[in-house]
Amino acid sequence: MCLSIPSKVVEVDENNMATVDTMGIKRHVSLDLMADEINIGDYILIHVGFAMNKIDEEEALQSLEVYREMLEAMEEQERRQVIESDDNCDSRGTV
């Protein structure tokens, strides 16, 4: 019931309706609950035929950046572990 799908606005008409792209599927939604102007290219959340909000692109990008940095940090840590275990390898130089 509360699930909602991110969609991209592709058209806004004079009846305060928008056409949106939801992962390749076109749908018509009402903008009656939107206080701010919605423009083509905006990302919005759709729930039972209405736009609920405009997705904050900067916040979304920041979250994705945090995840990317976390992955890099973990990869770095893994690399270091491999090097350390190699450094401490007893059989180094003997095989």
Q: Tell me which residues touch other proteins (CB under 8 A).
A: 1-4, 6-8, 21, 23, 29-30, 32-35, 43, 45, 47-50, 52-53, 55-65, 67, 70-71, 74
Q: How far is the CB of 83 from other proteins (least distance, A)?
A: 20
Q: Which is nearer to other proteins, 65 or 89 (CB)?
A: 65
**CB-side neighbour CA atoms (13 Å) of 50:** 8
Is 2 or 95 the residue whose CB approaches other proteins more closely?
2
| Gap between the Cα atoms of 59 and 44, Å rounded | 14
- Residue 70 neighbours by CB under 8 Å, 6+ apart: none
